Amino acid sequence: MRQISAEMLDLSSESMVSSRADGMITSWNLASTSLYGWQPREVVGRKLADVLGTYSEAATQEAGATGLWEGKVERRRRDGSVCTVRLRLARCSQPEEPEWLEVSSLLEAEHPAERALAASQYRYRNLFGAVAASFWELDFSEVGRIIQGLARSGISDLPAYLRMNPGMSRELMRVTRIIDTNDRSLEMFGPGTKRELLATPLDFYWPQESTADFTDSVISAITNRPRHVAETKMRALDGRLFDVLFTVSFLPGTVGGGTLLVGFTDISDRVQAARQLGDVSARRQMLLDVPTIALSELAAPEIAVTFRRLRSEGVTDLHPYIDRHPEFIDYVIGHLRLTSVNEAAVRLFGASSAKELIDRSMTGIIAPGCEVMRRSIEGSFVREPVFQSEMRMFRLDGSPVDTLFCRVSNPDPDRSDVLVAQIDISEQIRGRDEVERMRQQIAHASRISLLGQLTASIVHEVSQPVTAIANHAAAAERLARLPEPPKHKLADILSMIGQHAVRVGDIIQRLRAVAANREVPMVRLSLEDILSETRVLLRQELNEKGVRVVLDCGPGNLAVLGDRVQLQQVLANLMMNAIQALDDVARPTRRIDLGLRSDEREVHVSVSDNGPGLSSEFLSAPYQSFRTSKPDGLGMGLTICRSIAEAHGGSIKVQDRSDGRGVTSTLSLPLVEAADAAGD
């Protein structure tokens, strides 16, 4: 008995519990945890009679006499429910300490639903085990009870209360029971055994710094959102921390409610990449913090006169005045004269010497109608002594330079001269854009990778029962054609076909809960912005392939409601398809036309290429699901694009161009009143 390790017992699909002669539990395998709900650490060392109930008199007598007893026993589980198990009790007579071993499996349960669950459990495990992402099934029912208690005790704003009390979130983690995890979880959270993974309390996996992310997911659950996605840090069994993207789905119709399916995708590499990039720009910043500051003095006597005149006319605020007279900004720029500059300013403006700058106006150096300049002028007018902002200026050769611009006015109100200090921050701006672009690509990539992994899982899981259905049907057909068809066998086969179809349905339900993004967060977006962002995202591909992009945005700013990243994904996908369609077109003539049109109901974004047009195989199955993703991770296939478009209340059409060779893909979305779209 004792040379059998706990891990070996875990391989059994039947519950195995061993106990000493005095009734103390000495081992408890994984299947016991699934069947009775207790974790090994909760019961080892307790009396078996207290945990599961006593054996009948007859059982202990017979097992004592013959070494074995078998029969039905009623058992109570951790959650108080009752189940009937088939039990085999064996006495292993070791010379020094006799041990009892019991092997039990579920015979019938209280709820009919649970019976169905037990039947589907094996199948589900199969599904669960094969998925490429790490999945955890959690019992959240105790959390639900605590939350209800809090609500009853008069706390009205639960989300606020939870955010204020991280200790409560830690407590909620501790009462969450881990029901099951899949094989991929061991790779991600290991090294360790599945037993260790399941027996470790949930709060171990959530480092303190991630408490708020856990809290947010609980708040999602309380506020009845069917799905929650976030990035956070998790801890593995060996203590190392790693970055994950996690999704939480609340499974409808699970027994007793309160069961959650949580999926984790490891994104450490990507987060690491972003962090390194951040470090690079931080280092750059350090170098730039000790710059040579460009200093210039400017005089503007005419402007001082104009300011006095406006004040005498009763103007107190220049803002509405400039609204009426936008040319006023350029008037000021044209009358600001450089009276002295330092060496750094000469370099900044790209001049050959100070002489080239002295007495020059700022026309050409500051862009016409410059918005930052306008704010500086409005500040001067109300005698704000200092104005500071970022400003893009132009060197003498016309090339742009981003600066941190600081204007200090002479405290004497009769003087018009100002001192301007500037630091060249072009590098940082570039770094910042770079980080921002990286960040977007990471968000983009992690979503796509999760999507890709889910897609692969669906394909694999569904193909098994579908294969079985096809084989059974072919076998049944052959048997039915025999002169004397074996009716019983045929009936068996048909019943199996039915069961497999149910399995497919189960898989689809479970994966739908994870994969389906039924709730699109609706934000007002400008399609024009999204289109140009997508262009930036694909800049590299466009440059490499030498594709010219022509944007025709039509009039007005067209706004839609939707999710920025998802719509970017759709457009990126349509553009990638267009880029690939141009592979066989001569480089100089490769061209993609982006169009933005609207009618009174919808906005239409079109992506047209001048490639060879649609292939006949595409025409026969345009939305062929689950094509393998292309290495660049954007090949999500039109199927997913179409479902994103539909989730936004829109549609996607792909057809040959009406005006010649090539293909036009059109994304149509419901129009919201044309107005300035908010950013995020």
Partner 1 sequence: MSAPSLVAVVDDDEDVRISLEMLIGSLGHDAMLFTSADALLAAGGLNAFSCFISDVQMPGTDGVQLARKLRLATSAPVILITAFASEDVERRAHDAGVHRFLTKPFDPNVLIDELEKILG
By CB atoms closer than 10 A (0-12, 13-18, 19+), residue 289 is exposed
Q: Which is nearer to partner 1, 82 or 470 (CB)?
A: 470
Residue in the structure block whose two tokens are 């161009």:
657
Minimum distance from CB of 509 to partner 1 (Å)?
18
Contact 246, 232 (CB under 8 A): yes
Contact between 502 and partner 1 by CB under 8 A: the answer reads no
Smaller CB separation from partner 1, 347 or 478: 478
479 binds partner 1 (CB under 8 A): yes
Q: Does 379 bind partner 1 (CB under 8 A)?
A: no
Q: With CB under 8 A as the contact rule, which of the stretches 13-21, 441-449, 461-469, 635-643 interacts with partner 1? A: 461-469
CA dist., res. 378 & res. 322, Å (int): 9
Among 92, 119, 473, 491, binds partner 1 (CB under 8 A): 473
CA 479 to the chain's CA centroid = 50
| Distance in Å, CB of 30 to partner 1, minimum | 17
The answer for residues whose C-beta is within 8 angstroms of residue 225's C-beta and 6 or more apart is 519
Binding letters toward partner 1, positions 249-288, x by CB under 8 A:
----------------------------------------
Q: Rounded to the nearest whole angstrom, what is the least distance from the CB of residue 120 to partner 1 in the complex?
A: 12
Contact stretch for partner 1 (CB under 8 A) within 154-162, 348-356, 404-412, 469-477: 469-477
Contacts with partner 1 by CB under 8 A: the residue count is 26
Does the protein bind partner 1 through residue 494 (CB under 8 A)? no
| Contact call for residue 500 and partner 1 (CB under 8 A) | yes
Dump the DSSP string for 536-603. Answer: HHTHHHHHHHT-EEEEE--SS--EEEE-HHHHHHHHHHHHHHHHHHTTTS-GGG-EEEEEEEE-SSEE
Q: In the complex with partner 1, which residue's Cβ is closer, 59 or 466?
A: 466
**Helix (H/G/I), strand (E/B), else coil: 464:** helix
- Name the residue among 143, 150, 139, 233 with its Cα closest to residue 180: 139
Least distance (Å) between residue 261 CB and partner 1:
21
Nearer to partner 1, 279 or 492 (CB): 492
- 663 phi and psi angles, rounded to 5 deg: -125, 145
Shortest Cβ distance from residue 127 to partner 1 (Å)? 10
Roughly what angle, to the nearest 10 degrees, separates helices 327-335 and 371-381?
A: 80
Q: Give yes or no for residue 635 binding partner 1 (CB under 8 A).
A: no
Going from the C-alpha of 623 to that of each of 106, 558, 638, 652, 653, the distances in angstroms are 45, 28, 6, 10, 11
Q: Is residue 496 within the footprint of partner 1 (CB under 8 A)?
A: yes
Q: Is 459 in the site for partner 1 (CB under 8 A)?
A: yes
Q: Which of 92, 151, 305, 470 binds partner 1 (CB under 8 A)?
A: 470
How far is CA 204 from each of CA 126, 171, 191, rounded to the nearest angstrom?
27, 12, 15
The reply to whether 13 sits near partner 1 by the rule CB under 8 A is no
Hey, what are 92's tokens?
């292993």
Q: Show the tokens assigned to 161.
A: 């209360």
- CB 453 → partner 1: shortest distance, Å? 12
Site string for partner 1, 416-455 (x = CB under 8 A): ----------------------------------------
CA dihedral 391, 394, 400, 404 (to 10 degrees): -30
Q: Tell me which residues in 111-170 interact with partner 1 (CB under 8 A).
A: 122, 126
Helix-strand-coil percent breakdown of the chain, rounded to 5?
A: 45, 25, 30
- List the interface residues with partner 1, window 80-99 (CB under 8 A): none
Closer Cβ to partner 1, 335 or 500, answer by number = 500
Residue whose CB is less far from partner 1, 319 or 487: 487
Binder to partner 1 among 84, 200, 306, 471 (CB under 8 A)? 471
Six token digits for residue 323? 């609204």
Work out whether 456 is an interface residue with partner 1 (CB under 8 A): yes
Of residues 148, 388, 628, 655, which one binds partner 1 by CB under 8 A? 628
**Nearer CB in complex with partner 1: 234/493:** 493
Q: Examine residue 625 and tell whether it contacts partner 1 (CB under 8 A).
A: no
Contact between 463 and partner 1 (CB under 8 A)? yes
Q: Among residues 465, 562, 611, 662, which is the contact residue for partner 1, using CB under 8 A?
A: 465
Q: Does 511 bind partner 1 (CB under 8 A)?
A: no
CB nearer to partner 1: pick between 127 and 603: 127
Q: Would you count residue 467 as binding partner 1 (CB under 8 A)?
A: yes
Nearer to partner 1, 79 or 477 (CB): 477
Give the rounded distance of the alpha carbon of 415 from its chain centre: 57
In the set 503, 590, 604, 642, which binds partner 1 (CB under 8 A)?
503
Closest CA to 422 of 402, 401, 404: 404
Going by C-alpha positions, the residue among 147, 432, 409 that lies closest to residue 281 is 432
Q: Which is nearer to partner 1, 116 or 466 (CB)?
A: 466
In this chain, which of 478, 548, 630, 661 binds partner 1, going by CB under 8 A?
478
| The only residue of 442, 469, 574, 652 in contact with partner 1, by rule CB under 8 A | 469
Pick between residue 463 and residue 589 the one whose CB is nearest to partner 1: 463
Stretch that binds partner 1, among 29-37, 50-58, 235-243, 471-479 (CB under 8 A): 471-479
Closer residue to partner 1, CB minimum distance, 68 or 459: 459
CB of 488 to partner 1, least distance (A): 13
Rounded to 5 degrees, what angle do the CA atoms 94, 95, 97 make?
65
Residue number with CB closer to partner 1 (499 or 651): 499
Kindly report the backbone phi and psi dihedral angles of residue 321, in degrees, each rounded to the nearest multiple of 5, phi listed first.
Answer: -65, -45
Cis peptide before 588 (omega within 30 of 0): no
Tokens 């996908």 belong to residue = 573
Element (H, E) at 443: helix 426-480
CB 247, CB 228: distance < 8 Å: yes
Nearer to partner 1, 156 or 620 (CB): 620
Tokens for 311, please give them.
């004040």
Q: Is 472 one of the binding residues for partner 1 (CB under 8 A)?
A: yes
Residues 435-443: contacts with CB within 8 Å, 24+ apart? Answer: 435/274, 435/277, 435/278, 435/281, 437/536, 437/537, 438/273, 438/274, 438/277, 439/274, 440/533, 440/537, 440/565, 440/568, 441/537, 442/267, 442/270, 442/271, 442/273, 442/274, 443/565
Nearest approach, Cβ of 451 to partner 1 (angstroms)?
17
Q: How far apart (Å, rounded) are the C-alpha atoms in residues 300 and 339? A: 10
Tell me which residue has tokens 């098994």: 464
Which residues are at the interface with partner 1 (CB under 8 A)? Answer: 122, 126, 456, 459-460, 463-476, 478-479, 493, 496, 500, 503, 628
